[in-house]
Structure 1
Amino acid sequence: MKKISMMIPVYNEEENVLPLYDAITKCITEELSTYDYEILFIDNKSQDTTRAKLTLLCQQDSHVKAIFNSKNFGQFNSPYYGLCQTSGDCTILMCADFQDPIEMIPRFVAEWEKGAKVVCGIKTTSKENGFMYFLRSCYYRTIKKMSDVDQIEHFTGFGLYDKSFINVLRELRDPTPFLRGIVAEYAPDRVEIPYQQAKRRAGKTHNNWYSLYDAAMLSFTSYTKIGMRLATLLGFIMSGLGLIIALVYLVMKLIWWDRFVAGTAPIVLGVFVMGSVQLFFIGLLGEYILNMNTRIINRPLVIEERRLNF
């Protein structure tokens, strides 16, 4: 009997874990009854009653497993680590807030049975804030054009991963994994299924502008070279223009030295423009260096506090 692993990362989802467990269990037992299954929750140091409810679920149902992290290790490390702890022939990753439709599970499995190693859920529409969806669309299109890897637009990680691809994730040993980029780069025989993203069932999102910026910079510095190439090219052009302006200024000074008058405004403007360009690219360079530094240090993805039902 083939085994399906459901992997759900959670953080302060006390209102959602029990209804989600009920919905997943009902879906699998009614529509995928010929499969064995496990439901793995990985908790990123919740501060509410999420852990108590997960502990109760593990006591009541041997199909449920839980990993409790010793602290919050971020929105990328915890799900990636959880995927690597599953034992099924395939693993389905989904969020805990019901924005990823439960009814997609049988469709994912059907595509997997046809031979797909990775099945990606692609948001074609969303009931979230329209402005945020627009910004996400701009980001996805921008990173796709800049990256050497053909990035997947509106893919959040929601999808099915064959055991062979889970083994690839285990072997990568990436201390700062960006799953969306890894799927785009390494996933063989990928199938994409569109869906409409629903509103969060309960609770509130834990993403803010900083976390969204962090995600954008991780993908940008991991999968593009254009930032540093642009800095080099623009620096070359600006230095050339600066040299030309300096030579013109010198010639005019030598020829019309007695009549040549120049105020300080051009100098001040030049200093501010050049300084702002330099600061921008120093900051961009810093993002690349931060990414490199994290990988060189090679810290563990997460540190577990405890695990249940393993």
Structure 2
Amino acid sequence: MKNKGQIVQIAKTRPYDPSQGRRSLVSLVVPVFNEQQSIGPFLDRIEAVFAPLAPTYSYEIIFVNDGSRDATEFAIRSRMQSDPRLGLVNLSRNFGKEAALSAGLDHIRGDACIPIDVDLQDPPELIPDMLKHWEQGALVVNAKRICRARDSWIKRTTASGFYSLFNAMADHQIPRDVGDYRLLDKQVVEVVCDMGERVRFNKALFSWVGFETAEVTFTRPERENGSSTWSYWRLWNFALDGIFSSTTAPLRVWTYAGGLLALMSFLYASAILLRTLIIGVDVPGYASTLILILLFGGLNLFAIGILGEYIGRIYSEVRERPLYVLRSVHKGWEKT
């Protein structure tokens, strides 16, 4: 059994040291789902970014095929024939981006890791700046979006509301407008991979671990190929997973709400009792009775729903099913 207290007490080491006489290996983790058109442009951009860094850095790319139904796997394996830096992790079905990202983190070899989207909305040109901060001692380098004008008004508004609500309730806040695109030192990756949550919200986990953190900023460009598979319903469920897996504040809210309602009920009952003793019995009003029944009934159902969300996640955790299931793993560097 692992000593969980020891995991988070990893000693800080210099992430990059030219005197070591070797190039540092950077692992890019790329979850993909029906992205066959994006593979070629993405690899071309990555190669162009790392070409000037070749004296200091080498890289590998771990694609995680999250149950794609198109020719994504074929497109990746075709490029693997001529590029040994590519690896492919095939999941048995679609487990979702959080599970796919975790699968990629479990298979990296690098001194640092960068989760990145294949659609090029995470500009690879930020990677050199991330590496400079890493060389200076930062173990986490966040990429923050300073402009989301390309997103729709609804998406910008809901995203802003989510960050505000999450950070107001969460035990540990997450940086605003920072997605999965960031640099993680291998020490940080080891800590994240040792966490046993089945319902994962990686943005919160990356922030929870701590360590020295730096930040680079960028303006989010448009998606170059394909279309997003994130519907508003999926984003809503993703937001719920993030909130309920990161804080118990909704439960505490209902503790206070229940206490306040109980106090108000006691005061109201006392007022009715005194009124009855002083002026006699009055015929109760149908409308007020119905309003109170509907009000408290609705609040009870809402509170039960909050409890259900937590109980459902407890059920997922205690079953201890694997976070993902592998179908196959292909590593281009093992063929050289």
Equivalent residue for 1:248? 271
Task: Give the 3-state SS of the residue equivalent to 1:172 in structure 2.
Answer: coil
1:268 aligns with 2:274: no
TM-score for the superposition, normalised by structure 2: 0.88
Task: Give the 3-state SS of the residue equivalent to 1:195 in structure 2.
Answer: strand
Task: Give the 3-state SS of the residue equivalent to 2:270 in structure 1.
Answer: helix
1:114 aligns with 2:136: yes
Task: Give the 3-state SS of the residue equivalent to 2:63 in structure 1.
Answer: strand
Of 178, 187, 201, 1:178 maps to: 201
Matches of 2:218 and 2:77 in 1, distance apart? 32
| CA deviation string 1:52-90 (max 9, x = no partner) | 101111222111110110001112111122112100111
Task: Give the 3-state SS of the residue equivalent to 2:291 in structure 1.
Answer: helix
Of 119, 123, 132, 1:97 maps to: 119
The answer (yes or no) to whether the contact 1:84–1:169 under 8 Å persists in 2 is no
The answer (yes or no) to whether the contact 2:192–2:206 under 8 Å persists in 1 is no
Task: Give the 3-state SS of the residue equivalent to 1:65 in structure 2.
Answer: strand
Alignment of 1:66-77 (within 5 A): 66-77=88-99
Matches of 1:33 and 1:278 in 2, distance apart? 64
| CA deviation string 1:138-185 (max 9, x = no partner) | 211221121121321111110111111111122223222221111111
Q: CA deviation at 1:14?
A: 1.3
Of 256, 274, 282, 1:233 maps to: 256
The answer (yes or no) to whether the contact 1:32–1:106 under 8 Å persists in 2 is no
1:300 aligns with 2:322: yes
Query: Structure 2: 5+ residue runs without aligned partners?
Result: 1-22
Matches of 2:178 and 2:107 in 1, distance apart? 22
Task: Give the 3-state SS of the residue equivalent to 2:138 in structure 1.
Answer: coil
Task: Give the 3-state SS of the residue equivalent to 1:156 in structure 2.
Answer: strand
Q: CA deviation at 1:95?
A: 0.7
Matches of 1:19 and 1:95 in 2, distance apart? 12
Q: Which amino acid aligns with 2:120?
A: F
Matches of 1:296 and 1:195 in 2, distance apart? 40
Matches of 1:116 and 1:247 in 2, distance apart? 61
Q: What number of residue pairs does the alignment pair up?
A: 309
Of 176, 193, 203, 1:153 maps to: 176
C-alpha RMSD over aligned residues? 1.6
Equivalent residue for 2:299? 277
Of 89, 95, 110, 1:88 maps to: 110
Matches of 1:247 and 1:115 in 2, distance apart? 64
Q: CA deviation at 1:255?
A: 3.9
Identity within the alignment, %: 26
Matches of 1:51 and 1:306 in 2, distance apart? 11
Query: Structure 1: 5+ residue runs without aligned partners?
Result: none
